[in-house]
Amino acid sequence: MAPRDPSSLDPAVGARLKRDAAGLVAAVVQQYDTGEVLMVGWMDDEALHRTLTTGRATYWSRSRQSYWVKGETSGHAQHVMSVAVDCDGDALLVRVDQVGAACHTGDRTCFDAGDLSVST
């Protein structure tokens, strides 16, 4: 992974996070008013800082090794309403107002590929 610049994330917020070996935290993205789960992205400290300060969802692309703002090129923006950290500090819940598709396939959600069978 290419080195990233130091982040301006509030140290008090950063202290609450448990990052993986690459310095990332999973970000579960949810439509704020319906509860629909839209996608999962990855954030490092700087992506979280940018998200919190701009109100636009910013992620770290593991494949491109760069930051990306959702909707910057597609127009399918995520306007951030709130961000919460889970009890373990290893995941974020990003509540957004999604404009257009959330999934790179053009679908509203990344979770419409079909349910997996569950034996009960």
Record the pTM.
Answer: 0.89
Domain chopping of the chain, boundaries: 21-98
Mean pLDDT within 8-35: 95
Place of tokens 């008013």: 33
Cβ–Cβ under 8 Å, residues 44 and 21: no
Evaluate if residue 1 carries a pLDDT over 60. Answer: no
Q: pLDDT (tens digit, 9 = 90+) per residue, 68-112?
A: 999 898 899 999 999 999 999 999 999 999 999 999 889 999 998
The region of weakest confidence among 14-18, 26-30, 83-87, 114-118 is 114-118
Pairing of strands 66-69, 78-85: unpaired
Handedness of CA 43, 71, 84, 6 (dihedral sign): positive
Q: Which fold has domain 21-98?
A: Ubiquitin-like (UB roll) (3.10.20)
End-to-end CA distance of the chain: 42
